[in-house]
């Protein structure tokens, strides 16, 4: 009985949680990535492109990592990092960049 209840809750929660935040604009995320991130990262879907900074991962590689989820991207984009500029993005910008990166995995 308890297992059936937990299974039902898990199915409900997975159906209720969207893959990407509602209203996230991947087009705006792509534009922001090109304007802000492309000086270090390869931000496009081209699998042959190399990042200008060899230490900066390509966004397509980030998208294909098993650990990359909407939540992991949002946490990363809200945190400062030693080897990156300290960008402060709005919640909408974070949603857009996360949606854009996640969309690269589908190409």
How many residues are listed for the chain in this entry? Answer: 107
Is the pLDDT score of 61 beyond 60?
yes
Mean pLDDT, residues 57-72 taken together = 97
pLDDT at 14: 38
Give the CB-side neighbour count of residue 84, counting CA atoms within 13 A.
16
Architecture label for domain 21-104:
Orthogonal Bundle (1.10)
pTM exceeds cut of 0.85:
no
pLDDT band at 17; cut points 50, 70, 90 = very low
Instruction: Report the C-alpha gap between 13 and 80 in whole angstroms.
Output: 30
Lowest mean pLDDT among 11-25, 53-67, 74-88: 11-25
Give the pLDDT of residue 106.
84
34-46: pLDDT as tens digits: 999 999 999 999 9
Asked whether 26 and 96 are in contact (CB, 8 A), the reply is: yes
Each domain of the chain, given as residue ranges in start order, spans 21-104
**Average pLDDT of every residue of the chain:** 84
- The answer for residues whose C-beta is within 8 angstroms of residue 46's C-beta and 6 or more apart is 60
* Closest among 77, 74, 37 to 56, alpha carbons compared: 37
73 vs 84, higher pLDDT: 73
């Amino acid at each position: 009985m308890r297992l059936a209840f937990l299974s039902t809750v898990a199915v409900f929660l997975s159906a209720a949680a969207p893959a990407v935040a509602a209203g996230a604009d991947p087009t705006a995320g792509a534009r922001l990535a090109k304007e802000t991130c492309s000086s270090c990262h390869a931000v496009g879907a081209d699998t042959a492109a190399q990042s200008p900074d060899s230490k900066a991962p390509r966004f397509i590689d980030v998208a294909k990592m098993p650990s990359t989820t909407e939540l992991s991207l949002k946490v990363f984009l809200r945190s400062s990092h030693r080897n990156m500029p300290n960008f402060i993005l709005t919640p909408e910008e974070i949603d857009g960049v996360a949606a854009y990166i996640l969309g690269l995995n589908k190409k």
